[in-house]
Amino acid sequence: MALLTFPMFALAQAPAYRAPRTPDGKPDLNGIWQVLNEANYDIEMHAARPAMAVRPGPYGPVPAAPVLALGATGAVPPGVGVVEGGELPYKPEALAKKKENQENWLNSDPEIKCYLPGTPRGMYMPFPFQIIQTPAYIMIVSSYARAVRTIYMTNQTEAPADSWMGWSNGHWEGETLVIDTTGFNDQSWFDRAGNFHSDQLHVVERLTATDADHLSYEATIEDPQTFMRPWKISLPIYRRLEKNAQLLEFNCVPFVEDLIYGALRKPSSN
């Protein structure tokens, strides 16, 4: 029995990971990172579906006509979800709005029109992002839509105006970067499933290096206009380890100009 308990005791006493330090002595989170999950489809646990946009079929839902040709590439993979404690605690009227969003996904999801992803969605979209760290501020730069967040570590103020990504102030709690973000508009979604928020959204994120190549990410979401209580998501984030890893730009704005403005184009004189 002693031979069995000793290694278990030793493992329990192993010290927590301590990240390398920046010149100012803070944990070094610099690098290119990316998630590996299905949260951008739906942050809640969900089964596989034939498409994000569906219509009734003879034996169950089938892809809606506009996405039918996408076949399996337009289907929704299953996911265990990133929400802790089960379903989102929507207020009844907000839950009805969520279902309306989901039914009108093709016309309503801001991602389709390349709008900024919002917070925390920008952290778990399937695109890499880079953390650039200084004592005065930390920047999180996504390859998606040139989305940039500036986290103010010293010159901290309230949001001057509402915005897609919100206004972020940060501080360190030991090994953990804590980011407090307010000042949101009500335009972004949490995912493609229609989960949404109001302009009363308040997000507190916690980023902790668990080893050289992984970050633990937690976000507590509070929005008294939309939800009955605060709720939390948690997920790991992975360092991109390719030797030539770099943040490549996915500026999708030009790709959706015809979708948004095509109806305004003058008919060709030919």
Mean pLDDT of 42-63: 94
Structure-block tokens of residue 182 = 């307010």
The percent helix, strand, coil of the chain (3-state, each to 5) is 20, 30, 50
Q: Are 211 and 149 in contact (CB under 8 A)?
A: no
Tell me how far apart the alpha carbons of residues 253 and 186 are, in angstroms, rounded to a whole number: 20
pLDDT above 60: residue 11: no
Q: What is the pLDDT of residue 270?
A: 59
Q: Are 140 and 131 in contact (CB under 8 A)?
A: yes
Q: Are 166 and 181 in contact (CB under 8 A)?
A: yes
pLDDT above 80: residue 266: no
Q: Are 27 and 17 in contact (CB under 8 A)?
A: no
Mean pLDDT of 60-73: 94
Domain ranges of the chain: 19-49+77-241
**Residues with Cβ < 8 Å from 42, sequence gap 6 or more?**
76, 79, 81, 191, 192, 193, 195
Using the structure block, give the residue that is written with the tokens 């929005």.
Answer: 223
Q: What is the pTM of this model?
A: 0.91
Q: Are 198 and 221 in contact (CB under 8 A)?
A: no
Length of the chain in residues, anyone?
A: 270
Nearest to 134 by CA among 174, 82, 170: 170
Q: Identify the architecture of domain 19-49+77-241 in CATH.
A: Beta Barrel (2.40)
**Residues with Cβ < 8 Å from 79, sequence gap 6 or more?**
37, 38, 39, 41, 42, 45, 46
Residues 210-242: tens digit of each pLDDT: 999 999 999 999 999 999 999 999 999 999 999
pLDDT above 70: residue 8: no
Q: What is the pLDDT of residue 262?
A: 85
Tell me how far apart the alpha carbons of residues 229 and 242 are, in angstroms, rounded to a whole number: 41
pLDDT bin (cut points 50, 70, 90) of residue 105 is very high
Angle at 149 between CA 173 and CA 135, to 5 degrees: 45
Strand partners, 132: 139
pLDDT bin (cut points 50, 70, 90) of residue 28 is very high
Mean pLDDT of 71-90: 96
Task: Please state the φ and ψ torsions of residue 12, each to the nearest 5 degrees.
Answer: -65, -30
4: enclosing H helix or E strand: helix 2-12
Q: What is the amino acid identity at position 227?
A: F
